[in-house]
Structure 1
């Protein structure tokens, strides 16, 4: 270990040292003023790229290596370094503007999605993903205290701290009127972006997918891509902390790199390693999300202009921030860009969300005893083609509501089969899905699906409901 023995340097000493190393300082008093407000050490991250490269001889038998020396590239001015610093400051503030919009929307979606199940779902391990609530069962302590080792318990500790510290009027009102605990839609308004990110990561996949769909992020099966959204938000949390703590951003090596961009066509161009290692991929994500939240948003256009004009003004190539070749011609940066819509019509999406669905192979395993997957698939296709089995066409696949299967009997429930045939499920699957899941006045205001689950659906009731329809 080397002992630090560099002497303290006054502002005048700092300017003198920079001049000795070749930096052009036209106005010493102005430079000292800048150093007193920004700091020598902080600015050093911006003049680093203007220092000359030197060759250091290698050990015997080894090639020499390149390192950054103390001297500045000839012609480098203090003003140019300061211009770079100001560009980076504008970029950080611009990024925070977009993250604010996304953070607010994420608060709403987390509270809404979890709250739809139960007001206190965030407290219930059964409402969250097992990986979030799991504890170290290899080293248990008395009773259930080992639950305290789970990520969920640690997250709740931060939640309670935020609840106790909050001075918000809406929190005071709720505590005075109802007491504790606070419902999830109140809690989400108190969380930091990091805590929101942790909660998102701790949701069950189905809940993540619902939230991802609200942000316009879909996978190849037309489902919301919750795994992608989780990765993106983790990256944006890192980005937000970088900006909020005024850390250099423009050519920063992103430790928390973004992933799962290939599945979103408008972002696939940013999936290369260089774009993800710098801020460009994150900027592309912010452009996509802000456009999804508000198609009239001009944030992405302002970003493109900041990159092009801002970097040109300081003489830096756009590759410094990870821009791939031809990035400016990508649709997402154009003035005519329209964010992609849900691949499913809104009504179909609403109907689909009313059911727990499985795929063809899972249905085949229930209704056909064959050991051959192709035969089981053929059986599903056979019953669907004859309207006995309700299947929703989604993308290139079908989704089959589980309520219509009699798992114990290894068959399609006979009453469901009867209704599906009478309704023509093959030709009108979405209409039939709406019929099953909508309260029916012929059934005393209960949906046929709920009546079936309660064991009260009969052939006569089905016939009457179908005639009335």
Structure 2
């Protein structure tokens, strides 16, 4: 039975010191712990603790300042990644609306016959309906007022503007494989055909949610596993991570960069990451899965 009781901030600081974490500025530690929860920060000092982890004893030379550096590094990293994924999300939304509207008409997303998993498609429509009901957007209100007798959803170019990246990735992945637009969209995003893109989108949607909810990305075991092309048509990496490294951020960063190079060829993702690592030299790039010569890879040049 769980028996731990809440600790006051002074007690939290005392506990960390007793466990071997060096805290030079008590007032500063009090300030951070009053604005960033103990448990949130624990994700950043966890690797600083010796085995067995259950004892919570810190390794020698562990200090609170490095914990805060990691936290700040991770916060900026999330902002950079969120900005990059936003561009991918907008591109995917645009391509879904454009190609499928021309293939099946403005209400293609309500045509259950074009989806592999009909119950899943029905769930997605229910989510879309909830978003439409909640929406305060002028273009939705105007559509409803102007077309009161039309019981259908607004056309895809209106309805899908309300849709999350997660829902968009599910819509794309659930399209039947003989839907022509499914391959067209994958090819336009540099992934040749529909075989690979769904896993990339699912992975990026998960990371986008971590960013949106301010969850830790540094040293995180990511659940997504993007399916990699054997011979990508555009610049890729020569040193592909091994299976045991696929849970780290690096391969996902590579997927983001690959898509971004097509969507926004003059992007500065490489420069942003290099500058961030230079600003926080105490951060171990291995915790992100970064290879020693990652900046020299064709993808990142």
2:36 maps to 38
Shift of 1:178: 2.5
Shift of 1:296: 1.2
Check 1:261–1:81 CA distance in 2 against 1; reply closer, same or farther (3 A cut): farther
Alpha-carbon contact 1:111-1:186 (below 8 Å) kept: no
Alpha-carbon contact 2:220-2:248 (below 8 Å) kept: yes
1:77 maps to 63
Check 1:8–1:125 CA distance in 2 against 1; reply closer, same or farther (3 A cut): closer
- Aligned to 2:271, the other structure's residue is in SS state helix
2:159 maps to 187
Alpha-carbon contact 1:270-1:324 (below 8 Å) kept: no
Alpha-carbon contact 1:22-1:73 (below 8 Å) kept: yes
Deviation string 1:53-89 (CA, Å, 9 cap, x unpaired) is: 24xxxxxxxxxxxx56421111211111100111111
Aligned residues: 293
Runs of 4+ in 1 over 6 A off after TM superposition: none
1:345 maps to none
Alpha-carbon contact 2:153-2:159 (below 8 Å) kept: no
- Aligned to 2:117, the other structure's residue is in SS state helix
Which of structures 1 and 2 has the bigger CA Rg? 1
* Residues 66-465 of structure 1: pairs in structure 2 closer than 5 A: 67=53, 69-116=55-102, 117-126=104-113, 128-129=114-115, 131-133=116-118, 150-179=119-148, 180-205=152-177, 206-218=180-192, 225-264=193-232, 266-267=236-237, 269-306=239-276, 308-310=277-279, 313-316=281-284, 318-334=285-301
CA distance in 2, matches of 1:121, 1:69: 57
Alpha-carbon contact 1:257-1:276 (below 8 Å) kept: yes
Shift of 1:300: 2.9
Alpha-carbon contact 1:270-1:276 (below 8 Å) kept: no
| TM-score scaled by length of structure 2 | 0.92
Alpha-carbon contact 2:196-2:226 (below 8 Å) kept: no
| TM-score scaled by length of structure 1 | 0.60
Larger % of helix: which?
Answer: 2
1:22 maps to 20
Check 1:42–1:254 CA distance in 2 against 1; reply closer, same or farther (3 A cut): same
Alpha-carbon contact 1:304-1:333 (below 8 Å) kept: no
Shift of 1:12: 0.3
Shift of 1:310: 4.8
Structure 1, unmatched stretches of 5+, are 55-66, 134-149, 219-224, 335-469
Larger % of strand: which?
Answer: 1
Shift of 1:132: 2.1
CA distance in 1, matches of 2:229, 2:74: 25
Structure 2, unmatched stretches of 5+, are none
CA distance in 1, matches of 2:239, 2:199: 17
CA distance in 2, matches of 1:208, 1:260: 18
CA distance in 2, matches of 1:199, 1:217: 17
Check 1:267–1:204 CA distance in 2 against 1; reply closer, same or farther (3 A cut): farther
CA distance in 2, matches of 1:76, 1:271: 29
